[in-house]
Amino acid sequence: MLDRDGTLSVEKGYLCDPAELELIPGVLEGLKVLQKQGFGLVVISNQSGIGRGIVSRDVVEAVNARLRELLERQGVRLDGIYYCPHSPEQNCGCRKPSPMMIYQAARDLNFNPAESFVVGDKCSDVEMGKRANAVTILVLTGYGKQQPMQDRADFVAEDLRQAAAIIVQASQRYKSSD
């Protein structure tokens, strides 16, 4: 499970124009490694700009479609994109760090969250993964270098390319201990 803004794409605040979506260097390489190793790729993202009235749901959907398009052109397929449209003040049950979006993805795609990895650039990503008993990786892209959760994450990676290498290595370790 992967956060979108700051993990896959360059953090630009409330992205209002799909044409401005820009992949972070190393993202394509990292996703290709994971896909080649048979991992599912699911994006889980807070999109509070909808709840705050800054962007519409249609804009967020268009940005997500652009993300899919950029990745698919390079042979990378996302298995799903899940997002919370609420502002923090709405006190919903789906906003990260709640693991609700992970559980929804697990039901839809038939996987065990406790046998999964969560990669993100914020404390809320790490905390969401911890609550779902997933292995967590904080990437130092986006807001990652400013986050106090570096000691709480299972792993810290410079970027998604390094996170992918950690996932491959860690999953081999888990498989060999079965």
For 151, phi then psi, to 5°, come to: -85, -10
Cis peptide before 97 (omega within 30 of 0): yes
Give me the domain span that covers residue 23.
18-176
> Is 12 inside any structural domain?
no
**pLDDT(178) > 60:** no
Distance CA 5, CA 91 (A): 21
Q: Which of 133, 143, 87, 88 is nearest to 111 (CA)?
A: 133
State how far Cα 147 lies from the chain centre: 16
Q: How many domains does the chain have?
A: 1
> Is 115 inside any structural domain?
yes
CATH number (domain holding residue 37): 3.40.50.1000
Q: What is the pLDDT of residues 37-65, one digit of tens each?
A: 999 999 999 999 999 999 999 999 999 99
Pick the catalytic residue from 5, 121, 125, 159. Answer: 5
Residue type for position 71: L
> Is 7 inside any structural domain?
no
> Is 171 inside any structural domain?
yes
The DSSP 8-state label assigned to residue 46 in this structure reads E
> Is 93 inside any structural domain?
yes
5 is catalytic: yes
> Is 126 inside any structural domain?
yes
> Is 40 inside any structural domain?
yes
3 is catalytic: yes
> Is 6 inside any structural domain?
no
Place of tokens 């992970």: 102
Torsion of CA 149, 34, 101, 155, to 10 degrees: -10
Q: What is the pLDDT of residues 82-138, one digit of tens each?
A: 999 999 999 999 999 999 999 999 999 999 999 999 999 999 999 999 999 999 999
| Whether 99 contacts 131, CB under 8 Å | yes
Distance CA 128, CA 97 (A): 4
pLDDT at 26: 95
